Amino acid sequence: MTTTAPAGKPVGKVPADEMERLRRRYGRRHVAARCGVYGAAVTAALLCALPFLWSVISAFKQNQDLYNPESNPFFFNMPATPDHVTFLFTDTPFLTFVVNTLIVGAAVVAITLALALPAAYSLARLDRPWGTPMGIAIFMVYLVPPSLLFLSLTRVVVALHLENTLWSMIVVYPTITVPVSVWLLIGFLKAVPKDVEEQAMVDGYSRLGAFLRAVMPLVFPGIVAVVVFSFTLTSSEFVYALAFVSSSPEMVISTGVPTQLIRGDVFFWQSLQASAVITAVPIAFLFNLFLDRFVTGFTMGAVKT
Amino acid sequence: MTDVKTEAEPVEAGGRRERPKVGLADRDGFLAWVMLLPSVVYIIALVGIPFLLAIAFAFSDVTTGDPSFDFVGFANFGDVFDDRVFWRSLRNTLVFTVISMLLIVVFGKILANILVADFRGKWFVRFLVLLPWTTPVALSTVSWLWFLDSIFSPVDWVLRNVGLIDANVVWLGQPGTAMASVIAVHVWRLTPLAAVIVMAGLIAIPKDLDEAARIDGAGFWRRMFEVTIPLTMPVIAVAALFGAILTFTDMTVPYVLTRGGPTHSTDVLASWAYFRGIEGGDVGQGAAIALFLFPLLLAAAVAILRAVRRLEAR
Amino acid sequence: METVEVKGLVKAFDGHLRARRGRSERVLALDGVDLAAEPGEYLVLLGPSGCGKTTLLRTIAGLEQPTEGEVLIGGHVVNGLPPRVRQIAMVFQSYALYPHKTVLDNIVFPLRAEGMERAEREKKAAWAAELLEITPLLRRKPRQLSGGERQRVALARALVRDPAVFLLDEPLSNLDAKMRATARDELKRFQERVGTTTIYVTHDQAEAMGLGDRIAVLEHGRVRQVGTPQEVYDDPADTFVATFIGSPPMNLVKRDDRLVGFRPEHLLPAENVTSERVTMPLRVERMEYLSGDRHVYGTVTGIGEETRVIARLPATVATPLAAGETHEFAVPADRFRFFDAAEGVRTAAVPIGGAS
């Protein structure tokens, strides 16, 4: 070799005690790195979830405990009470909101799949020259926000006599979910090897038959991911729900809770906190189950389109 | 060319004795359109037409009380420009967007790095981290309303007991802290989404590259800044622009947290359009305000396209 | 003193079913490996996929930590040390060039990590580029290079570190068949010029035979045999090595508690074997003509159980043969290898009937 290696580096040319020192140093570093990872993870989890912890504690507090500026918000200074949580279910329309949210969510998910699945297949597999630009165009629709459209859509909803009904949301929400779902599904479809449907076609199925019988079962996990994703988007939507529906029995959680559980200046604080936690936990749980799929879906859609 | 090719593929019916028929279900060109059409029609009907309608409303005197359409030219825009609240909300929107976006990207990147690391209890940490984003915005914002309450705020309680403040801050009652609160809640809510997108980018980096860098002697920071970040830049850009668009057009946090107050100091374009167009009933003016979102959105969309293009070029 | 040595190396991976079925699902990728590479040696790790050869290489590199055992580089135990202080350089199967950096930046990256002066590292990069004949490519990005050029860039990046050992992980498998022969030759010449100890992983026996000073044959995380290409071919330690190396593989005929092995090219029509030999009747079933050689598939009797065997007849043997005929074949007596039928390991020679 023409050049010598810089000092301090080569393992082969150091005395044994130096090696021992090195090993101890990297051992310590390794431990420090692990501690760092756990420290960072705990910090991140706390920053994100601390408000929910507060919510849970507040939800079970007695009024005198909660409405006392001096009492510790992290502890029950007086015995906990489930009264306010029961109140949420018995004396407020919260359950109606939950049912409405589920109805709207289910209907929107069904419409989304019916529209997005064939569209995604068409764009991902049928190789038309306009496939890629069309895919990007549909994706761009996702970027047209509710705040730009809610005024005119409100007029459309009124013209269709859908105002103050769940239908108004069922009809309009797929504008939000379809573009993202198409994007995600394209990713999942492209991950299915072409051979599979070509084999099905050679075995006597039509192109459509191959899609339904050979490809669909393989993208089923992707479909489940899209269902969860669409449902999450639907349940969070606020602007349309606020603009279209103003009568309590037809409201969904996201508008019902902030508008109906706040009467003038009277807040049912404990019940509000309980409703937030009750809604948040199942959705986050579902979402977490499918997180890896979204992540792969996102990348595949982005890289392969 | 593709059409010719499809016509020439009747053999696929394979194995049948009688002369194979080319059904519609076998024609790629036909299928491609039929499968795509419902989505396209639906989007044109409920996004395209309302969009044109929004433009039309901006030039009309439509109100909730009097839905008849009369063309009034640029009168709505004139009124909007004369209104100091509009300029205030435009400025608020920009401040809100730029600051939130920067924070979202930085925190999102850090969070993504934590989430791809390998540690025990990862599933539970991920669950907790996802909570802010998966909770319906309106609900989490209501929770924050309590945490920032003028008298009972737990945040103030902590700060008081640590000794940082003597009396409650009244977060939502002063223009500066109100805006800071709105931004904080928004960043808190969107960071998990940004993290998920960046995570997708991180996972897509071939493992070989990181290992090669480790063998080449690069430490954690060098790998981060010279390998990971340059390679995820397009994805980070996409996350940033998403964040920007979602922030720019968002009205939920200001609407629920402060109702635009105190005295319009947290009003953004979207919430102001809502107050004028729906609560004030002046659809024309509301539409004119909302339309201001569009040119900036378009710029962001073009930027996203270019980022995606670069992603493909890799 | 060996450059690289591993002692009693065990590496266990937890199976996918760990959570459900408890710890018993552990997979042993390395199951007690002892191996040493001498200074300047070209050591090839050869084995079928999943035999643990890549895990062994990655454990030496420090990318994996062994469950048990020691890795020594330059006589020092390096367990627990990160790759960067081990003084190794590695070329990955994919070459792992940084796609956003130019060729030059790729090459100087390890030097910058060491904190070398700018002028010095540029000089060194120029030297490496010169050696590998990639000087005209220095300003390009990896995606503008051909597979062979990428390989040379990856070698240059490995070379500038002055490593004690090069670790190469199937570097030829991403090249097409035509490129592979040239690239193999280049690799060999490169190592001869540089003279650095090299450990090379492959599943391709032609690569292993062509490149290696010594070959270590691995299977199921164990080293089955270490030796020169000639040793592993002519004197396989067990039936695995005997059948894994050589194409077509060694014929094995069961005889009592032994397996009698002989290479297809030593099984010739009896009249072509003049030395001390063992004859056996062979019923020809099928023949293939492959680049001048005749591969004869048939069944032999007489030296043990009736067994299907393959004979490889060079073009110089013109004996007329046809499917369905039975012909007298013979193997030179010193070409037989004997294995224990139960264990598969080599045993002493036993006399075979039919010798003449």
In tens, the pLDDT along C71-121 reads 998 888 888 888 888 888 999 988 899 988 999 999 999 998 888 899 999
- Put simply, whether A30 touches C (Cβ < 8 Å) is yes
Specify whether C171 is located in the same domain as C37: yes
User: Which residue in B has a C-alpha nearest to residue C92's C-alpha?
Assistant: B208
Specify whether B98 is located in the same domain as B200: yes
- How far is the C-alpha of A266 from the C-alpha of B73, rounded, in Å? 44
Q: Which residues of C touch B211 (CB under 8 A)?
A: 63, 83, 90, 92, 96
Nearest alpha carbon to residue A61 among A80, A77, A74: A80
In this prediction, residue B188 has a pLDDT band, given cuts at 50, 70 and 90, of: very high
Tell if the CB–CB gap between B226 and C161 is shorter than 8 Å: no
Q: Which chains touch C (3 or more CB pairs under 8 A)?
A: A, B
User: Which residue in C has a C-alpha nearest to residue B231's C-alpha?
Assistant: C100
**B63 occurs within a structural domain:** no
Q: Which residues of B touch C93 (CB under 8 A)?
A: 208
Q: Residue A266 is inside which H or E element, if any?
A: strand A266-267
Tell if the CB–CB gap between C73 and A1 is shorter than 8 Å: no
Q: Which chains touch B (3 or more CB pairs under 8 A)?
A: A, C
- How far is the C-alpha of A273 from the C-alpha of B223, rounded, in Å? 43
- How far is the C-alpha of A266 from the C-alpha of A264, rounded, in Å? 6
Specify whether B109 is located in the same domain as B222: yes
Range of the domain at C95: 4-234
Q: Which residues of B touch A294 (CB under 8 A)?
A: 196, 200
Tell if the CB–CB gap between C114 and A2 is shorter than 8 Å: no
**B263 occurs within a structural domain:** yes
Structural domains counted in chain B: 2
Say what the pLDDT of residue C267 is. Answer: 92
Specify whether B37 is located in the same domain as B83: no
**C246 occurs within a structural domain:** no
**B170 occurs within a structural domain:** yes
Distances (CA, A) of B240 to A142, B126, B137, B194, B235: 15, 21, 19, 7, 8
- How far is the C-alpha of C242 from the C-alpha of C234, rounded, in Å? 9
Query: Which of C14, C73, C112 has the most B C-beta neighbours within 10 Å, making it the best mutation to test the interface with B?
Result: C112
Tell if the CB–CB gap between C3 and A14 is shorter than 8 Å: no
Instruction: Write down the ipTM of this complex.
Output: 0.80
Q: Which residues of C touch A5 (CB under 8 A)?
A: 87, 161-162
- Put simply, whether B7 touches C (Cβ < 8 Å) is no
Q: Which residues of B touch A127 (CB under 8 A)?
A: 2, 28
List the pLDDT tens digit at each of the 305 positions of chain A: 333 334 334 444 566 677 788 888 888 888 888 898 899 889 988 888 888 888 888 888 877 777 777 777 777 777 778 888 888 888 788 888 899 999 999 999 999 999 999 998 888 877 777 777 787 788 778 777 787 788 888 888 888 888 888 999 999 999 888 988 888 888 888 878 888 888 888 888 888 888 888 888 888 888 888 888 888 888 888 888 888 888 888 888 888 888 877 766 667 788 888 888 888 888 888 888 888 777 776 665 544 43
**B67 occurs within a structural domain:** no
Closest by Cβ to C113, choosing from B208, B211, B216: B216
Would you state the structure tokens that stand for residue A57, as one six-digit string?
A: 């504690």
- Put simply, whether C98 touches B (Cβ < 8 Å) is yes
Please determine, for residue B15, whether its predicted confidence score (pLDDT) is greater than 80.
Answer: no
Specify whether B81 is located in the same domain as B38: no
Specify whether C274 is located in the same domain as C209: no
Nearest alpha carbon to residue A77 among A58, A53, A52: A58
3-state secondary structure of A259: helix
Nearest alpha carbon to residue C155 among C84, C103, C216: C103
By the 8 A CB rule, do C71 and C59 touch?
Answer: yes
Structural domains counted in chain C: 2
Say what the pLDDT of residue A301 is. Answer: 52
**Strand runs labelled E in chain C:** 4-13, 27-37, 42-46, 68-73, 76-77, 88-91, 165-169, 197-202, 214-219, 222-227, 251-255, 258-262, 268-269, 277-290, 293-300, 307-313, 326-332, 337-340
The domain spans of chain A are 13-66, 83-304
Say what the pLDDT of residue C43 is. Answer: 93
Q: Which residues of A touch C39 (CB under 8 A)?
A: none
Specify whether C176 is located in the same domain as C293: no
**B71 occurs within a structural domain:** no
User: Which residue in A has a C-alpha nearest to residue B22's C-alpha?
Assistant: A206
- How far is the C-alpha of A304 from the C-alpha of B5, rounded, in Å? 24
pLDDT digits (tens, 9 = 90+) for B132-154: 888 888 888 888 888 888 777 88
User: Which residue in A has a C-alpha nearest to residue C161's C-alpha?
Assistant: A5
**C348 occurs within a structural domain:** no
Alpha carbon distance, N-terminus to C-terminus of chain B: 29
Tell if the CB–CB gap between C63 and B218 is shorter than 8 Å: no
Please determine, for residue B3, whether its predicted confidence score (pLDDT) is greater than 70.
Answer: no
Specify whether C25 is located in the same domain as C127: yes
Tell if the CB–CB gap between C84 and B212 is shorter than 8 Å: no
Amino acid identity of C19? A
Domain boundary among C234, C266, C299: C234
Nearest alpha carbon to residue A287 among A241, A240, A230: A230
Q: Which residues of C touch B231 (CB under 8 A)?
A: 99-100
CA C290 to chain centre: 24
Q: Which residues of B touch A152 (CB under 8 A)?
A: 50-51, 53-54, 57, 287
**C354 occurs within a structural domain:** no
Q: Of B200 and C232, which is predicted with more confidence?
A: C232
Specify whether C56 is located in the same domain as C140: yes
Specify whether B34 is located in the same domain as B100: no
Specify whether B168 is located in the same domain as B200: yes
Q: Which residues of A touch C75 (CB under 8 A)?
A: 12
Cα–Cα–Cα angle for A26, C95, C111, nearest 5°?
A: 50
Specify whether C210 is located in the same domain as C92: yes
User: Which residue in C has a C-alpha nearest to residue B234's C-alpha?
Assistant: C100
Q: Of A263 and B156, which is predicted with more confidence?
A: B156
Nearest-neighbour CA in chain C from B204: distance (Å): 13
User: Which residue in B has a C-alpha nearest to residue C113's C-alpha?
Assistant: B218
Q: Which chains touch A (3 or more CB pairs under 8 A)?
A: B, C
Distances (CA, A) of A160 to A245, B64, B303: 14, 15, 37
Specify whether B117 is located in the same domain as B33: no
CATH of the domain at B148: 1.10.3720.10
Omega of the bond leading into B262 within 30 degrees of 0 (cis): yes
- Put simply, whether A15 touches C (Cβ < 8 Å) is no
User: Which residue in B has a C-alpha nearest to residue C87's C-alpha?
Assistant: B215
Q: Which residues of C touch A22 (CB under 8 A)?
A: 81, 85
**B65 occurs within a structural domain:** no
- How far is the C-alpha of B146 from the C-alpha of B141, rounded, in Å? 9
3-state secondary structure of C297: strand
Low-confidence ranges of chain C (pLDDT < 50): 16-22, 355-356
Closest by Cβ to A243, choosing from B26, B130, B278: B278
- How far is the C-alpha of B97 from the C-alpha of A161, rounded, in Å? 36
Q: What is the CATH number of domain A83-304?
A: 1.10.3720.10
Q: Tally A–C CB contacts below 8 A.
A: 56
Say what the pLDDT of residue A107 is. Answer: 94
Would you state the structure tokens that stand for residue A141, as one six-digit string?
A: 């629709």
- Put simply, whether B227 touches C (Cβ < 8 Å) is yes
- How far is the C-alpha of B77 from the C-alpha of A22, rounded, in Å? 71
Closest by Cβ to A3, choosing from C79, C87, C162: C162
Q: Which residues of A touch B31 (CB under 8 A)?
A: 122, 126, 207-208
pLDDT digits (tens, 9 = 90+) for B97-109: 889 988 998 999 9
Range of the domain at B292: 77-313
Would you state the structure tokens that stand for residue C124, as one six-digit string?
A: 């060194």
Closest by Cβ to C81, choosing from A4, A12, A22: A22
pLDDT digits (tens, 9 = 90+) for A8-57: 344 445 666 777 888 888 888 888 888 988 998 899 888 888 888 888 88
pTM strictly above 0.95: no
Specify whether C219 is located in the same domain as C318: no
**C194 occurs within a structural domain:** yes
In this prediction, residue B5 has a pLDDT band, given cuts at 50, 70 and 90, of: very low
**B184 occurs within a structural domain:** yes
Query: Which of A31, A48, A252, A296 has the most B C-beta neighbours within 10 Å, making it the best mutation to test the interface with B?
Result: A48
Say what the pLDDT of residue C242 is. Answer: 92
Say what the pLDDT of residue B202 is. Answer: 87
CATH of the domain at C280: 2.40.50.140
- How far is the C-alpha of C72 from the C-alpha of C78, rounded, in Å? 6
